[in-house]
Amino acid sequence: MRIGVLTGGGDCPGLNAVIRAVVRKGVATYGHEFVGFRDGWRGPLEGLTKPLGIAEVRGILPRGGTILGSSRTNPFKIEGGVEQIKSNLAEQGVDALVAIGGEDTLGVATKLHELGVQVVGVPKTIDNDLGATDYTFGFDTAVNIAMEAIDRLHTTAESHHRTLVVEVMGRHAGWIALHAGLAGGANVILLPERPFDVDQVAGYVEKRFQHQYAPIVVVAEGAQPLEGQMVLQNQELDSFGHVRLGGIGQWLAEQLEAKTGKEARTVVLGHIQRGGTPTAFDRVLATRLGLQAIDAVNEGDWGKMVAMQGTNIVRVPLVEATKELKTVPLERYTEAEVFFGS
């Protein structure tokens, strides 16, 4: 077969490991041919391709980002987009697609499968919020980057007796904030799943200062105060209907400084969490997902997503994978609350 590979949505460490595994096994074991579609769904939509063989994937295992490029293109928002994709696939002689992405990218893959395109999905999101898989690659790297930042911030916070508010990624799910906060010894963790009381957070901060230590507050970008709204950079929507978040950290720091009388500063980690070399865990997980994905393609098991359940790599229907977000359950947040303010 001639197989197209694309990566869509936000980039993350481990994408290249998936591409490498798909191509290496696809060529060496099954004798398939590959073509890379550039910049997510824009690639098959506009016919943007690049060669993708053994030579092209050598040495990419430790590289962050994606050699194929990415975008947030939604072909279903473009008139005639689906027909154009089908036409370009036929023109390129492409028999099947491996789509690597998160909720939005795999949502497009699901719809295309229902319209007759032969596709297999691989889950990718640093937010770890896809319901059908226990972990997504990129999450472990993002958590470790955030944890290292928190470790460094502890020392400067102590030196200046400041509150430091660390804003991490997490639109609707607070997995990065929860794991990085726990691992980094944060004194308060705020998630999108549970609106917070600013006065209560200020109380935790004051209690921490009473112990002669400076507090670290970790807040997910999608967290919001009680009866409040998400803090937005602007009201513009992307092609999948998402607003651009950002600013909750600065807003919270200003509130805490006003309520406690102690200086508060904000650190927004932003895209630092997406970049750089993937951890060993993410390299191995991404590789295993890629190997299972090309097996599914070779067997003609279309409309499936490969997923990690326990320690096994399994296949689940794409429609199940994108049906609902996996958010942080209350009991996991309750575990973390033990350390708040102490």
What is the DSSP annotation of 67-107? TT------GGGSTTHHHHHHHHHHHHT--EEEEEESHHHHH
The tens place of each residue's pLDDT in the chain, 342 residues long, gives 999 999 998 899 999 999 999 999 999 999 999 999 999 999 999 999 999 999 999 999 999 999 999 998 999 989 999 999 999 999 999 999 999 998 889 999 999 999 999 999 999 999 999 889 999 999 999 999 999 999 999 998 888 889 999 999 998 999 999 999 999 999 999 999 999 999 999 999 999 999 888 899 999 999 999 976 555 555 565 555 555 555 899 999 999 999 999 999 999 999 899 889 999 999 999 999 999 999 999 999 999 999 999 999 999 999 888 788 899 999 999 999 999 987
The C-alpha atoms of residue 17 and residue 280 are separated, in whole angstroms, by: 11
What is the predicted pLDDT for the residue at 106? 92
Residue 241 is predicted with a pLDDT of: 56
Predicted local distance difference test score (pLDDT) of residue 157? 87
In this prediction, residue 324 carries a pLDDT of: 85
User: What per-residue confidence (pLDDT) applies to 193?
Assistant: 95
Residue 244 dihedral angles phi and psi, to the nearest 5°:
-95, 115
Task: Give residues with Cβ within 8 angstroms of 284, minimum separation 6.
Answer: none
The CA distance from 203 to 215, in Å, is 11
The 8-class DSSP code of residue 132 comes to T
List the binding residues for Mg(2+): 103
Burial (CB count within 10 angstroms: exposed 0-12, middle 13-18, buried 19+), residue 240: middle
* Sign of the CA dihedral running 97, 103, 104, 110: positive
Instruction: Point out which residues pair with 196 in neighbouring strands.
Output: 225
**Residue positions forming the annotated binding site:** 10, 103, 125-127, 162, 169-171, 221, 265, 271-274
How open is the CA angle 314-39-318, to the nearest 5 degrees?
A: 25
- What pLDDT sits at residue 10? 87
**C-alpha distances out from residue 229 to 197, 222, 248, Å:** 13, 9, 10
Pseudo-torsion of CA 299, 305, 308, 309, nearest 10°?
A: -90
- Can you give the pLDDT at residue 228? 66
Distance, in Å, from the CA atom of 239 to the CA atom of 31, rounded to the nearest integer, reads 37
Specify the amino acid at residue 91: E
**How many Cβ atoms are within 10 Å of 91's Cβ, its own excluded?**
9
> How many beta carbons lie within 10 A of that of residue 207, not counting itself?
15
pLDDT value of residue 321: 82
> How far, in Å, CA of 282 to CA of 285, rounded?
5
What is the distance between the terminal CA atoms of the chain, rounded to a whole angstrom?
59
- The angle at the Cα of 190, spanning 184 to 193, to the nearest 5 degrees, equals 125
Output the pLDDT for position 299: 97
Residue 212 has what pLDDT? 83
Which residues are catalytically annotated? 127
CB atoms within 10 A of CB 285: 26
The pTM of this model reads 0.91
